[in-house]
């Protein structure tokens, strides 16, 4: 384990003025508090805080952050209190430790509603002091490095949470090295076969071609040296997960994939960057469409560099990044660059951007109050995407995430402009509102008085800001209709557990979901943004849907071994009474399909994974979900009457989504919880006979059917990875 003297020596290398006494006291205090505690690996628990502090010291962080790292688990896991930490190390450190403690308690892999609520809390904590997040990210990195000592289910949970939240957050903080390592460590847990395959192919490629990295580094060094420039040249093979992602996105074989190797040329000044770019393009053929100038147009996290891909030695494509030393520091440290020290002084980097500015602008746009789900969606959209830069007719630059459309551009200018948008011109040519924008395009938005956002715009928009504004407008416009529909949906859901809808119950439900009042809760139910079943579960977590049936969902399939669990395929949604077959997935149970499910064609060469299963012959509980597609007349009371009809047939509406809304009709998908296929046929017959129903059918989606874990495992099997 790293000793206190080792840690102080590491800090003094970049900060000779460090308070060595405070670091030593924090080390001794943390060691005392964690005495007798051990990690699952058997190591003393204090090895973890020390390694987190070491990670932050390698990023040249200040003393307060390093002391926080040494103490970050003391308030949560030991007898130490906030006041004790404050008395010994100051309020600043105590506040930081308390902030990290609160982040640690957030369950970001819990149910979707709770996850969104906790994610908002994470972002709020980040906006108050970015160092809290820096400690938490380093904490997560060390935990992922040592994750193999945890139980398998916990490994998968933490790996998925890391892939979904912490890795993209690190990327948004500009800490690309950390993002890549977090993704790769999570990938190793979620799809070990896929990662092993990438590594095997790398080894085979090196045997065939030799050490390509050293060869190309030599070529670049010779080129730069001949021009009289001074440069630091680095080269590496990209991380397995980065390559895997490219393989999936481009649907190419490994042998045809470019950008397996990445190189950096770090020079003294900006002028030298462009000079090196010219030398490289003179020496090797540039790949069209693969040049990016992030110096003149920096990324939103402060990243600056020139990117180009060339056909280098032996016609192998390589990516080259060219930047100055200051740009390189930001690219390597990201948010940590704003807190970095050199020779005891806080170092000013002209290119470093404080991510708290992004967070502040985000919270200002979406509001501190409001819908947690929309906030979660918006932040994830902004974390996961790169940016494009477009221009207004007046030459103002509008930054948007890659994949953004003209609708996003309009709302990025102002909500009023977006709401009144009727047409758009890109480079002077009229194009549809859903047109995806590219770098450098000039965009003109045409507005009209009286125009209001349309429901179809939600699918066109790619940014959280636009989606949130459109949903808000739709809710306000259709509020009364949604409240009436929501009350009917609530009535059916409450009756399913033997309860009645009362004003008090609705008010309590609104508070549970952080909504201002009962009307807002009903509006969310009616607009299908909140499932009625989730409201009932929140109020009555111990109650189950009333049923006189004998067979529970867990015991409804015969032919499984005691240690096998099953999941109904989302692609075909099998019901009792239908012929079924089971497909096994290693580590994630069995998926049940109907015998005529098109998905089964992909398993015809893997008969060892087929299981002969059947439904239990007894009566089943009404917990089997099926989706129907429904087109009904847009008239007063029609929707409520249809919901009542379904309820009278003893089925529970578990989900409802509007697919199309026109002045004279609605098309929607309705999720039903039913007992068996016979009950479904009764419902379809009754609906088809209704004069206000234009069409009704069972909805199936062959593209669905696997969880994220099963998708990762299945992709590895099917491709041979």
pLDDT average, residue stretch 405-422:
91
Residues 93-128 pLDDT 10s:
998 888 888 777 655 554 444 444 555 555 655 556
Q: How far apart are CA 697 and CA 551, in angstroms?
A: 27
Residues 516-536 pLDDT 10s:
889 888 888 887 778 888 888
Q: Which residue is associated with the tokens 């790996």?
A: 159
Q: How far apart are CA 671 and CA 28, in angstroms?
A: 58
Please, which residues have CB within 8 angstroms of residue 387's CB and are 6 or more apart in sequence? 299, 300, 399, 400, 401, 402
DSSP state of 600: G
Q: Which of 18-27, 555-564, 671-680, 691-700 has the lowest mean pLDDT?
A: 555-564
Residues 12-53 pLDDT 10s:
988 888 999 999 999 999 999 999 999 988 899 999 999 999
pLDDT average, residue stretch 254-265:
70
| 158 closest CA partner among 172, 169, 146, 170 | 146
| 6 closest CA partner among 65, 45, 47 | 47
Q: Which of 185-194, 283-292, 496-505, 706-715 has the lowest mean pLDDT?
A: 706-715
Residues 173-194 pLDDT 10s:
778 889 889 999 999 999 888 8
Answer for the pair 69, 56: CB distance below 8 angstroms, yes or no: yes
Answer for the pair 521, 513: CB distance below 8 angstroms, yes or no: yes
Q: Which residues are catalytic?
A: 76-77
Beta strands in 569-684 (DSSP E): 580-584, 590-594, 610-611, 614-615, 624-633, 652-661, 665-674
First to last CA, the chain: 37
Q: Which of 191-195, 372-376, 485-489 has the lowest mean pLDDT?
A: 372-376
pLDDT average, residue stretch 606-634:
85
Q: Give the 3-state DSSP-derived string for 229-280, with helices as H, strands as E and coil as C.
A: CCCEEEEEECCHHHHHHHHHHHCCCHHHCCCCEEEEEEECCHHHHHHHHHHH
State yes or no: pLDDT of 575 exceeds 50.
yes
Q: How far apart are CA 613 and CA 559, in angstroms?
A: 5
Domains assigned to the chain? 4-190 (1.10.3210.10), 193-346 (3.30.460.10), 385-476 (3.10.20.30)
Please tell me which of 238-242, 340-344, 365-369, 540-544 the model is most confident about, judged by mean pLDDT: 238-242
pTM of the shown model: 0.55
At residue 32, the pLDDT reads: 93
- Burial class of residue 3 (count of CB atoms within 10 Å of its CB; 0-12, 13-18, 19+): exposed
pLDDT average, residue stretch 302-325:
84
Q: Which residue is associated with the tokens 């957030």?
A: 106
Query: Would you place residue 357 in the very low, low, confident or very high pLDDT band (cuts 50, 70, 90)?
Result: low
State yes or no: pLDDT of 434 exceeds 80.
yes
Q: Which residue is associated with the tokens 């439900």?
A: 509
Answer for the pair 273, 267: CB distance below 8 angstroms, yes or no: yes
Percent share of the chain, pLDDT over 70: 81
The mean pLDDT of the chain is 80
At residue 210, the pLDDT reads: 67
52, 57, 58, 62 alpha-carbon torsion, rounded to 10°: 130
pLDDT average, residue stretch 552-576:
82
Q: Which of 499-508, 533-542, 698-707 has the lowest mean pLDDT?
A: 698-707
Give the dihedral sign, CA 147/239/585/619.
positive
Please tell me which of 62-71, 613-622, 680-689, 710-719 the model is most confident about, judged by mean pLDDT: 62-71
State yes or no: pLDDT of 253 exceeds 80.
no
Strands 580-584 and 590-594: antiparallel
State yes or no: pLDDT of 419 exceeds 80.
yes
At residue 699, the pLDDT reads: 85
At residue 182, the pLDDT reads: 94
State yes or no: pLDDT of 76 exceeds 90.
no
């Amino acid at each position: 384990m790293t000793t206190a003297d080792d840690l102080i020596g590491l800090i003094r290398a970049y900060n000779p003025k460090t308070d060595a006494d405070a670091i030593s006291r924090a080390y001794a205090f943390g060691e005392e508090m964690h005495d007798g505690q051990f990690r699952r690996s058997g190591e003393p628990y204090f090895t973890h805080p020390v390694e987190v502090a070491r990670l932050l010291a390698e990023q040249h962080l200040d003393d307060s952050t390093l002391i926080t790292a040494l103490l970050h688990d003391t308030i949560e896991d030991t007898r130490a209190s906030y006041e004790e930490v404050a008395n010994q190390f100051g309020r600043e450190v105590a506040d930081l430790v308390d902030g990290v403690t609160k982040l640690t308690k957030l369950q970001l892999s819990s149910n979707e509603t709770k996850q969104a609520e906790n994610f908002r809390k994470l972002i709020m904590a980040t906006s108050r002091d970015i160092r809290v997040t820096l400690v938490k990210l380093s904490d997560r990195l060390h935990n992922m490095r040592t994750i193999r000592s945890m139980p398998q289910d916990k490994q998968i949970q933490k790996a998925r949470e890391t892939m979904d939240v912490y890795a993209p957050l690190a990327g948004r903080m500009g800490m690309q090295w950390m993002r890549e390592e977090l993704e790769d460590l999570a990938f190793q847990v979620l799809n070990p076969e896929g990662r092993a395959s990438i590594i095997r192919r790398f080894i085979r490629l090196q045997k065939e071609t030799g050490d390509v990295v050293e060869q190309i580094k030599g070529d670049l060094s010779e080129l730069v040296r001949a021009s009289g420039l001074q440069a630091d040249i680095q080269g590496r093979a990209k991380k397995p997960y980065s390559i895997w992602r490219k393989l999936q996105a481009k649907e190419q074989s490994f042998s045809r994939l470019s950008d397996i190797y990445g190189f950096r040329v770090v020079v003294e000044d900006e002028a030298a960057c462009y000079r090196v770019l010219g030398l490289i393009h003179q020496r090797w053929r540039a790949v069209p469409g693969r040049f990016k100038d992030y110096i003149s147009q920096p990324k939103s996290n402060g990243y600056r560099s020139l990117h180009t891909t060339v056909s280098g030695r032996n016609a192998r494509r390589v990516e080259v990044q060219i930047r100055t030393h200051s740009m390189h520091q930001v690219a390597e440290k990201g948010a940590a660059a704003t807190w970095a020290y050199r020779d005891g002084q806080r170092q000013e980097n002209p290119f470093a951007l404080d991510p708290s500015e992004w967070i502040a602008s985000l919270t200002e746009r979406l509001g501190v109050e409001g819908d947690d789900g929309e906030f979660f969606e918006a932040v994830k959209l902004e974390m996961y995407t790169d940016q494009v830069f477009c221009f207004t007719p007046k030459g103002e630059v509008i930054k948007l995430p890659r994949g953004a459309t003209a609708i996003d551009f309009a709302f990025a200018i102002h909500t009023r402009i977006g709401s009144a948008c009727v047409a758009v011109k890109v480079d002077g040519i009229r194009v549809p509102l859903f047109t995806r924008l590219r770098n450098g395009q000039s965009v003109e938005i045409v507005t009209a008085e009286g125009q209001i956002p349309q429901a179809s715009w939600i699918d066109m928009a790619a940014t959280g800001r636009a989606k949130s504004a459109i949903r808000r407008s739709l809710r306000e416009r259709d509020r009364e209709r949604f409240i009436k529909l929501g009350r009917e949906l609530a009535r059916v859901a409450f009756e399913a557990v033997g309860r009645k809808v009362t004003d008090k119950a609705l008010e309590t439900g609104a508070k549970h979901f952080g909504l201002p009042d009962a009307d807002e809760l009903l509006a969310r139910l009616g607009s299908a943004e909140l499932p009625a079943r989730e409201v009932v579960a929140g109020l009555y977590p111990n109650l189950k849907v009333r049923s006189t049936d004998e067979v529970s969902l867990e015991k409804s399939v015969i032919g499984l071994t005691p240690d096998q669990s099953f999941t109904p395929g989302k692609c075909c949604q099998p019901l009792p009474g239908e012929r079924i077959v089971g497909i096994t997935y290693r580590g994630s149970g069995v998926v049940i399909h109907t015998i005529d499910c098109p998905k089964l064609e992909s398993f015809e060469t893997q008969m060892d994974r087929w299981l002969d299963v059947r439904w239990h012959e007894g009566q089943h509980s009404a917990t089997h979900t099926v989706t129907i597609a429904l087109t009904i007349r847009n008239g007063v009371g029609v929707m409520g009457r249809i919901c009542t009809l379904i309820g009278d047939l003893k089925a529970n509406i578990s989900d409802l989504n509007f697919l199309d809304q026109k002045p004279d009709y609605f098309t929607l998908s309705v999720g039903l919880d039913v007992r068996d296929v016979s009950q479904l046929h009764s419902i379809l017959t009754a609906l088809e006979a209704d004069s206000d129903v234009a069409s009704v059918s069972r909805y199936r989606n062959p593209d669905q059917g696997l969880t994220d874990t099963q998708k990762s495992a299945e992709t590895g099997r099917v491709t041979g990875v």
